[in-house]
Structure 1
Amino acid sequence: MTKILLVEDDDTITFGVRVSLEKKGYEVTACTCLADAKRSFSETYSLVLLDLNLPDGNGYEFCTWVKARCNTPIIFLTVRDEVKDITKGLDMGADDYVTKPFHIAVLESRIAAVLRRAPEEADALISCGRISLDRERMRVQAEGKEVVLTALEYRLLLVLMENKGRTLPRSLILEKLWDSEGNYVNDNTLTVTVKRLREKLKNTRCIATVRGIGYRMEEAEDETRR
């Protein structure tokens, strides 16, 4: 059974989320503060649902604490919807960010998307829509045909594909694209590279722009049906 740690001090939200997720077959442990969360946490949990505002601290602290120990996925649940708060959480390694109030069906969908990514990370071949990337051979195909990419375009696509379904802030992407020789990749270069990459991948809609934040690789319904 998939174990989820819910760190939330609002009893109403905790009750609703817990009941709904348990109906879906998840095992949910609920904590109301950071101290309880740290005592309860272990690598047996498949996911952490984390509020930002807690009685004895904030969710950013717990996110850092978890990521220093393992790579358990984290989804923030919070009323803070400003871009600076979202990007801070994502930059710290959170896998998604859901703002309150939220519909439980949306949360369930986000949880399923994050959990689907976990086993995919170990595979050499990763895909999104009609795009596939072979990490061992460093080859990319779109609609069954090989696509020739520059080194920067390939690294960008790899970052997006390895984090499929996760919104990546521009700052985090730039950090990951900084090459081993120290060549600087600036914000304008990222914008141009995204544009060229989309064009080479048959004008794909799988690379979504998240306005004011960054980019997200996602399944595009119209592409999967073509």
Structure 2
Amino acid sequence: MKYILLVEDDLSLISGLSFAVKKAGYGLDIAHTKSEADEIWEDGKYDLVILDVSLPDGSGFDICKSIREISKVPIMFLTARDEETDVIMGLDIGGDDYITKPFKLAVFISRINALIRRSDNFNQADVELSSGGITIQLLKREVYKNNEKIDLTANEYKLLCLLMENSGQVLSPEQILGKLWDCNEDYVDSNTLTVYIRRLRTKIEDNPGKPERIVTVRRMGYKWNSVE
């Protein structure tokens, strides 16, 4: 059985979510505050963490940052805060999905299923990706360029993995967004993707102004080109 940690302080919402999650076949632990979450969190104990952003004693963003220091467990933000800056911040610090209230329980469970399924597929992948002088140590979530470690945000890392796993294939913006983020398209759209591509290029390209690894294919999308 897969286990989920839900960090939420709205008692009326917890009741409905608990019923839906357990009916879907998942085990569930609930924390009402950041301190409760810190007490029961254990790396390897959960298959998914669902975080409300606003908590009585802190922020779901802070919990996410702490978890990301030691774990790659999927993280979903569940919140009434739907500002673009909040969505992008949640994704940048390591969130995998961002769903805003109100929402339909069927959509909520579908998002849970998708996150856990993608996590299972990722864990079955090879332990290393290497192409064009870039090496990804998947188990450590570390990236090296010509044997020198480079720092990436969580979403830059996921984007790089996706491109390198599909080396030589053109991926449309819709394909990339669909595989990496399940968030509201009003916020995580092709313009947001362009920002992530530009950031990633500044870190892995020899000349970001003339990229050779992440190539733009006009009117089609992006392609990883193995540079030897």
Change (3 A) 1:61 1:165: closer
Residue of structure 2 in register with 1:17 after alignment: 17
Distance 1:185 1:26, change over 3 A: farther
Aligned to 1:2: 2
1:93 to partner: Cα distance: 1.1
Question: Aligned residue for 1:63?
Answer: 64
- Which residue matches 2:116? 115
Structure 1 residue 69: deviation in Å? 1.1
What is the alpha-carbon distance in structure 2 between the residues aligned to residue 133 and residue 174 of structure 1? 14
Compute the displacement of 1:177 (Å): 3.2
Amino acid of the structure 1 residue aligned with 2:114:
A
- 2:219 corresponds, among 192, 196, 202, to 196
Which deviations, in whole Å up to 9, do the C-alpha atoms of 1:82-105 show, x marking residues without a partner? 111111101111000000011111
Residue in 1 that maps onto 2:37: 37
Aligned partner letter, 1:49: I
Are the counterparts in 2 of residues 174 and 185 from structure 1 also a CA contact under 8 Å?
A: no
Checking the alignment, whether the CA contact within 8 Å between 2:6 and 2:50 is kept in structure 1 is yes
Listed as ranges, the gaps of 5+ residues in structure 2 are 127-161, 224-228
Q: In structure 2, do the counterparts of structure 1 residues 199 and 29 end up closer, same or farther at CA, with 3 Å as the change threshold?
A: closer
* Paired AA for residue 176 in structure 1: L
- Aligned equivalent of 1:51: 52
Name the CA distance, whole Å, in 1 between partners of 2:100 and 2:78.
Answer: 6
Q: Deviations over 1:27-70 (max 9, x none)?
A: 01000001110111112200011000100001110010111111
| Equivalent position of 2:176 in the other structure | 160
* Change in 2 beyond 3 A, CA 1:6/1:199: closer
Instruction: Give 1:75's aligned residue.
Output: 76
Task: Give the partner amino acid of 1:178.
Answer: T
Which aligned pairs between 1:95-114 and structure 2 lie closer than 5 A? 95-114=96-115
Distance 1:49 1:9, change over 3 A: same
1:123 CA drift (Å): 3.1
Contiguous gaps of at least 5 residues in structure 1 = 125-131, 141-148, 201-226
Aligned residue for 1:196, secondary structure, equals coil
Q: TM-score, normalised by structure 1?
A: 0.66
**TM superposition shift of 1:162:** 10
Q: TM-score, length-normalised on structure 2?
A: 0.65
Q: How many angstroms does 1:134 deviate by?
A: 8.0
RMSD over aligned Cα, in angstroms?
Answer: 3.3
Residues 114, 165 of structure 1: 8 Å contact kept: no
Distance 2:106 2:99 in 1: 12
Q: Name the counterpart of 1:93.
A: 94
Query: Offset of 1:185 from its aligned partner?
Result: 5.6
The answer (yes or no) to whether the contact 2:111–2:182 under 8 Å persists in 1 is no
Aligned residues: 174
Residue 138 (structure 1) aligned to one of 151, 164, 167: 167
CA contact (8 A) 1:48 1:72 kept: yes
Deviation at 1:199, TM superposition (A): 9.7
Offset, 1:118: 1.1
SS of residue in 2 equivalent to 1:90? helix
Question: How far apart, in 1, do the equivalents of 2:222 and 2:76 lie?
Answer: 32
The CA distance in 1 between the partners of 2:222 and 2:167, in whole Å, is: 19
Q: Letter of the 1:138 partner, please give it.
A: S
